[in-house]
Amino acid sequence: MPELEHFLPRYAAEPPQETAPYGRWAERLGAAFTTAVGELEPDPEEPAEADGIGEVGELVWYPDRTWHGRTFVPVSTRTSTGLEAYGYVRYVPAGDEPSSEPRALEGDAQVTGELAENNPDWKIDLCESVVGSWRGDGDVAAMTLVWGRPLVSGAAHAVAELDGIVVDRCPIREGRFTLLAPDDFHGDTLEVAVLTASGEELARESLYEDDDEG
């Protein structure tokens, strides 16, 4: 195997461990996220936010990922004013003791008026948030939580690539996936691809808009 040009934190996060939240646990997570949405202020320069953020609707949960002692559970929802609120809830997972429970729940939220149904050229609907950093050989990578859903049929896996190197992967569960990978490292940026069960690539998206686009 050829030597890699840079050290990279590949597969740094634990693979998804839990099923989608339900019952009282979903209520706890949902309350943390709803609180975060309620703290957002509309952007006066964004026409889509002219009517305010609105009330959150039904929450859609994405697979969990655990990294650096915290579990991240991404979530998205539509609001009553037609925006998409998205983010995650992070917490310290329960310990090994039978009475131990998850603690330090904290929600993080953003909103956007850019919706998948208004962008027919999208092949993958993506959200992302930087959740930490990793110091490498001469540069610092932005450890980035990426979650979304393929908008093409037949996708079974999602992978994150940095400079052509796979740095994370996740099975697609109920049409959704979550990745946690280094980004913006030595000038290289993340791309996300979705694959069939046999490994055939169906679609690929960058986390960054093409500079040549208007």
Average pLDDT value for residue range 8-19: 94
By C-alpha distance, which of 180, 168, 182, 202 is closest to 140? 182
Residue 198 above 80 pLDDT? Answer: yes
pLDDT digits (tens, 9 = 90+) for 43-83: 999 999 999 999 999 999 999 999 999 999 999 999 999 99
Cβ atoms of 144 and 130 closer than 8 Å: yes
Cβ atoms of 6 and 184 closer than 8 Å: no
Average pLDDT value for residue range 28-52: 95
Residue 169 above 90 pLDDT? Answer: yes
Residue 151 above 90 pLDDT? Answer: yes
Report pLDDT for 211. 45
Query: Residue ranges of the domains in the chain?
Result: 23-206
Report pLDDT for 94. 86
Q: How far apart are CA 37 and CA 150, in angstroms?
A: 25
Higher pLDDT, 97 or 136: 136
Report pLDDT for 178. 98
Residue 3 above 80 pLDDT? Answer: no
Report pLDDT for 212. 46
Residue 121 above 90 pLDDT? Answer: yes
Average pLDDT value for residue range 167-185: 97
Lookup: tokens for 154: 């037949």
CA distances from 162 to 13, 74, 204 (A): 16, 22, 13
Q: How far apart are CA 83 and CA 48, in angstroms?
A: 7
Report pLDDT for 8. 86
What are the two backbone dihedrals, phi and then psi, of residue 182, each rounded to the nearest 5 degrees? -75, 140
Q: How far apart are CA 87 and CA 85, in angstroms?
A: 7
Q: How far apart are CA 17 and CA 22, in angstroms?
A: 14
Residue 39 above 90 pLDDT? Answer: yes
Report pLDDT for 4. 56
Helix (H, G, I), strand (E, B) or coil at 24: helix
Q: How far apart are CA 28 and CA 23, in angstroms?
A: 9
Report pLDDT for 97. 80
Q: How far apart are CA 12 and CA 4, in angstroms?
A: 17
Average pLDDT value for residue range 12-23: 94
Q: How far apart are CA 39 and CA 97, in angstroms?
A: 35
Report pLDDT for 95. 81
The angle at the Cα of 23, spanning 17 to 25, to the nearest 5 degrees, equals: 55
